[in-house]
Amino acid sequence: MSIKTFIPSGFPGEREIIIPADLLDSIINNPVTEQLYVTHIGYYPNAKCHYRERPIGAEQYIFIYCENGIGWVEYNGERMTLAKDQFIILPPYEKHAYGSGDKKSWSIYWLHFKGTNAPFFNSIMGRSIEIKDADNSRIQDRLILFAEIYRNIEHDIYDLENLQYTSFCLMHFLASLKYIKSFLTKWPYPLAYLNTLQGESSTRFVLIIHK
């Protein structure tokens, strides 16, 4: 009988970035980036036999979003399933573990973050939350935001404006998770909404000049 080896990383096609320690001092002491910033970010596709355990937690908040497949998270004495379109945020310095099985993999987007504004998201921490897949759920828009954060850090990790920009992107990304209903699409396309506003403005203008 073969013995399965469970690993924390090293999956085919994975991508990850870790912010260098010498850069964190600059981030912490900047009035923009200190509010919310990424320390680690990555994507593990089709990760089977994934396992990560932290007996005393991590120094950062940890976000995990399951794009496909199924895994699990142990936190606060509870074992939770994390399946497609579900996410969890784990608070710092608290025991946890997470992973996938040897028969079923998961594909996850993940990041570690810190900042003076991080506790603002406490209301969505420590529990599995589902983003229901619907025409207006804008799941892809969230992934674009995630990719924007990753791309800019990857492009020039030591550029201050780049890091400030990613801090604002991270705030938007986390806000889309805290305020799921507000992030839902209200119109089929953003341009359609703008055109509607322009049409309403024109109508009001016509009504005014004909009075």
Whether the CA torsion 104, 109, 114, 117 is positive or negative: it is negative
Q: How far apart are CA 171 and CA 92, in angstroms?
A: 18
Q: Is 22 exposed, middle or buried (0-12, 13-18, 19+ CB in 10 A)?
A: exposed
Pinpoint the alpha helices (H) of the chain: 21-28, 139-155, 160-178, 180-183, 190-209
Q: Which two tokens stand for residue 171?
A: 């705030």
Q: Which of 10-19, 29-38, 96-105, 183-192 has the lowest mean pLDDT?
A: 183-192
Over residues 90-96, mean pLDDT: 97
Q: What is the mean pLDDT of residues 27-49?
A: 95
Average pLDDT, the chain: 88
CA distance 51 to 71: 10
| Per-residue pLDDT at 211 exceeds 50 | no
pLDDT at position 85, please?
94
